[in-house]
Amino acid sequence: MTVTYTLPFNAIGTADHARVGGKCASLGQMTQAGVAVPPGFAVTTDAFQFMLDQHGLKDEIARHLEGLDPENAAQLDRVAQAIRQRIGSHHLPGAVEEAIRTAYTAFGSFPVAVRSSATAEDLPDASFAGQQDTYLWITGVSDVLDKVRDCWASLYTARAIAYRAKNNIANAGVLMSVGVQKMVNARAAGVAMTLDPSNGDRTRIVIDASWGLGETVVSGIVTPDNFTVEKVLEQILARKISDKHIELVGDAAAGAAIEREVEASRRNRQCLSDAEVLAVARLAKRLERQNKCPQDVEWAIDADLPDGENLMALQSRPETVWSQKKKDTPKLALATGMESIVNTLNNPRSTRL
């Protein structure tokens, strides 16, 4: 296979999944399936490999890791810091920089989110990866290049190194991809799960939503609006509107996403219309069907797009908690035929008073 340093999402095929990591593979898959996803490109593991090979970085890293006792917190921190510093101190290889520059310009030089996209085995679960996983509202190609490098560096946080040590994953050969994706000018955003996270009920879709970018919902600094939708009938069964006091919005001048207070009139207003709630539910449902298992979906409503066309999927990954539990519950014996009718008449469950 020829070496490619960048791949636009709409060109990521199944054969490319290994070199674009989980997040970008998912974005590629969704794009191919016709789901509305903000456009972007992956910086492939080939690019990271090239970086490692240049300047002997790979050997440097190996040297730092030699004799590391992962239980020694102080040493671990020092080594992690040193490695990240080494990565940060090098320019990207010329060809890689050129490829990123070209891709960024080609797709419009929009403000972007720059996100690590690693394979699951190499890094602990995303919830452990910390803030360095994602950079929001990055503008201008030089900032993009910086953040790509920072994402690569996040392979060597103390926690990540310790994780691999504990799980006997060799550090040599651990590669990362980075996703560069157009920022959504989110009017509202959040997450949707295609089951009820409180009890695993697979006939429900539960949606958390708040103003601005969805990171406030994911990180929990805002109590979001919560909606329960019946999955098959596509009806809103319950809703809880919360006091959404902060929102995260893009600041192009600052080249970052910034937190700001939400004005009083909007704080307790439902941040999605009922029609939008159902649109999010349908999106989640579609993603569940495509992936053949319950999903945890991140989505956003783009203020720059017209109603009915402004719902974007940002991420979709398998739900793991309840999907595991399902295998553990014992199967009930099911009665059929006349015997069942007799049982039903003798034990009417819905009428127990």
Nearer to another protein, 292 or 306 (CB): 292
Q: Is 324 in the site for another protein (CB under 8 A)?
A: no
Distance CA 188, CA 275 (A): 14
Among 1, 74, 253, 353, binds another protein (CB under 8 A): 353
Among 74, 233, 264, 275, binds another protein (CB under 8 A): 233
Q: Is 329 in the site for another protein (CB under 8 A)?
A: no
Q: Is 327 in the site for another protein (CB under 8 A)?
A: no
Among 274, 303, 307, 325, binds another protein (CB under 8 A): 274
Q: Is 219 in the site for another protein (CB under 8 A)?
A: no
Nearer to another protein, 15 or 332 (CB): 332
CA dihedral 305, 317, 222, 252 (to 10 degrees): -40
Contact 242, 271 (CB under 8 A): no
Transcribe 90-113 into DSSP letters.
Answer: SPPPHHHHHHHHHHHHHTT---EE
Q: Is 334 in the site for another protein (CB under 8 A)?
A: yes
Q: Is 259 in the site for another protein (CB under 8 A)?
A: no
Site for another protein in 61-120 (CB under 8 A): none
- Please work out, in degrees rounded to the nearest 5, the angle formed at the alpha carbon of residue 244 by the alpha carbons of 243 and 249: 170
Least distance between another protein and beta carbon 352 (Å): 6
State the distance between the two ends of the chain, measured CA to CA, in whole angstroms: 68
Largest CA distance in the chain: 79
Nearer to another protein, 62 or 341 (CB): 341
Least distance between another protein and beta carbon 98 (Å): 48
Report the candidate in 172, 119, 175, 178 with the shortest Cα–Cα distance to residue 151.
178
Q: Is 273 in the site for another protein (CB under 8 A)?
A: no
Tokens 């799980």, residue located = 167
Distance CA 116, CA 109 (A): 19
Q: Determine phi and psi for 156, rounding to 5 degrees.
A: -115, 40
Tokens 């708040």, residue located = 210
Q: Is 230 in the site for another protein (CB under 8 A)?
A: yes
SS3 call for 147: helix
CA dihedral 214, 219, 225, 227 (to 10 degrees): 90
Q: Is 241 in the site for another protein (CB under 8 A)?
A: no
Q: Is 336 in the site for another protein (CB under 8 A)?
A: yes
Report the candidate in 284, 198, 281, 269 with the shortest Cα–Cα distance to residue 235.
281
97 CB burial (10 A radius; 0-12, 13-18, 19+) = middle
Q: Is 348 in the site for another protein (CB under 8 A)?
A: yes
Which H or E run contains 191? strand 186-193
Select from 8-16, 180-188, 230-238, 258-266 the region that touches another protein (CB under 8 A): 230-238
Least distance between another protein and beta carbon 337 (Å): 7
Contact string 157-196 vs another protein (x = CB under 8 A): ----------------------------------------
Least distance between another protein and beta carbon 343 (Å): 8
Among 74, 253, 275, 338, binds another protein (CB under 8 A): 338
Select from 46-54, 197-205, 212-220, 314-322 the region that touches another protein (CB under 8 A): 197-205
Among 67, 264, 304, 349, binds another protein (CB under 8 A): 349
The site for another protein (CB under 8 A) is made up of 201-204, 230-233, 235-238, 274, 331-332, 334, 336-338, 340-342, 344-346, 348-353
